[in-house]
Amino acid sequence: MIWQAVTSRLLDDLIRRPRLGLVTDVDGTISPIVANPQAAVVTPRSRQLLHELQACLPLVAVISGRQAEDVYHRVGVPGVVYVGNHGLERWENGRLQLMPEVSHYRPALAAALAAIESQKVQGMRVEDKGATLSVHYRQTDKPDIVAARYEPIIREIVAAHGLRFFQGRMVFEVRPPIDVNKGSALYQLVKEYQLDGVLYLGDDTTDVDAFIVAQQLRQEAACYALGVGVLSSGTPTAVRDNADLFAAGVADVESLLAWLLSARKASFT
């Protein structure tokens, strides 16, 4: 269901929560998907809306698969909480806060990196994000064929080094075997900031964990949480199956953020 259809029901109830938080993904949500992830840019409108929302909400946060420092510089809104590497790190007070357990797996990640580098084809890029690795294949000649061929290869390398394999949109993710993801990161923020309402926005399979946690929080009456899936031509089935509501692309996310800002201000005046 598109979010505009429920502004007088589900979202109206959310708006009235005293301690309401907004948590968003970056790529494909407030930043259009591009061939080279390093060229991704958060839209100026999204940045301005996040800035204004930060001034009137107890929490505005970003949870991304990118490194927390990368997200901090890419979004660039003071006061926003920046969580990176799917919850394994946070950018706070001008420096990186990394989960202590991650350092134990750094040698395994380095070994996996070397093994994957030796197997990659033209157009494939292996990104070392410190706590995790990302194997991007969007820029290969035939991404679908590359994905089918290399998934078992990457899986084998990951398993051999005692790590975990995940798959996103045209990317393989390699993470340490720590039970942390965007869902657990969302849960931690809800508890830390004592939220009684939260809206989570995301577009990829890695956001599904957060959608599921939002449903659980709502069912347990712990927090009125809603997950918004951001649609595009390549939206994963898992996003369509687990999001509560939908936004029709990055431009529609801007419309949702603008509505949220306006409705929030109106409800407290």
Note down the domain range covering 107. 101-175
Q: Are residues 94 and 8 in the same domain?
A: yes
If pLDDT is split at 50, 70 and 90, which confidence band does 211 have?
Answer: very high
Q: Are residues 222 and 258 in the same domain?
A: yes
> What are the angstrom distances between the C-alpha of 47 and each of 31, 72, 78, 81, 90?
10, 12, 10, 14, 19
Count of domains observed in the chain? 2
One domain, residues 107 and 210: no
What are the beta bridge partners of residue 138? none
The model's pTM is: 0.94
CATH number at residue 75: 3.40.50.1000
**Are 7 and 93 in the same domain?**
yes
229-242 pLDDT, tens digit each: 999 988 999 999 99
d(CA 117, CA 200): 35
**Model pLDDT, residue 267:** 83
pLDDT of 269: 63
Question: Same domain, yes or no, for 141 and 208?
Answer: no
Is residue 38 domain-shared with residue 74, that is, in the same domain? yes
